[in-house]
Amino acid sequence: MARLRLLSDCRLYTFIDTAYTRGRSVEDLARQLCDGGSDVIQLRAKNLEADEVLGLARRIRLITDEAGVLLAVNDHWTAAVEAGAALCHLGQEDFFEAGWRRVEELAPLGGAVKLGLSSHAPDQAERAVKAGAAYLGVGPVYRTGTKPAARPVTLDYVRWASDHLLIPWFAIGGITLENLDEVLAAGARRVCVVSAILNAPDVVRACQTYRDRLSSAP
């Protein structure tokens, strides 16, 4: 088993989203994403109950651990803890509006898991940093079919994040190979990619291409 990556060293954050699996097994997708150079793989399963998410997370972790890739579980803190995932990712509403104010408040439920939070504006990012988030999602940068109702934050927010955030952050939302260079030019050095990789004819090659472009950024 490979040593797990440090979050600070991670550049490419990919997904196993059950809305895009198209009959492929989570194991096959996990292997392809790992082989392509993913640093983090998030399990996102909006249509499943917590116990089903836990089952999938346990199956995926067998593969990600072997590759030294970090596993993140979306929405379900308890499932992340019970699966032994490295990370859990929550939206602002799932954390702050649920009554949490500091990440350590979750520690009795599983202190080994690190928490990532989404952010859509500078005030949300600042609040998440003060709460003790291990990393942030910055977006959606562009309009995306993954969250069609979400208003794009544009490259202006990416530039703000580049100038102000000291913890790891990942630009997310509608990022493709066609617009990746302008995201990097705005200051991003880490990106999340969902459909552009999962819908690619060759998942491994798509990951490798993103990875190469990220590695060549200053």
For the cut 60, the answer to whether the pLDDT of residue 110 exceeds it is: no
pLDDT band at 111 (very low <50, low <70, confident <90, very high): low
CATH placement of domain 7-215? 3.20.20.70
Burial 147-166 (b: 16+ CB within 10 A, else e): eeeeeebebebbebbbeebe
What confidence score (pLDDT) does residue 5 get?
Answer: 95
For the cut 90, the answer to whether the pLDDT of residue 108 exceeds it is: no
Minimal CA–CA distance to 17: which of 106, 145, 143? 145
Read off the pLDDT of residues 118-150 as tens digits, 9 standing for 90 and up.
999 999 999 999 999 999 999 999 987 767 777
Q: What letter does residue 100 receive in the DSSP assignment?
A: -
For the cut 80, the answer to whether the pLDDT of residue 14 exceeds it is: yes
Read off the pLDDT of residues 143-192 as tens digits, 9 standing for 90 and up.
877 677 778 999 999 999 999 999 999 999 999 999 999 999 999 999 99
Domain ranges of the chain: 7-215
What span, in angstroms and rounded, lies between the C-alpha atoms of 205 and 97? 39
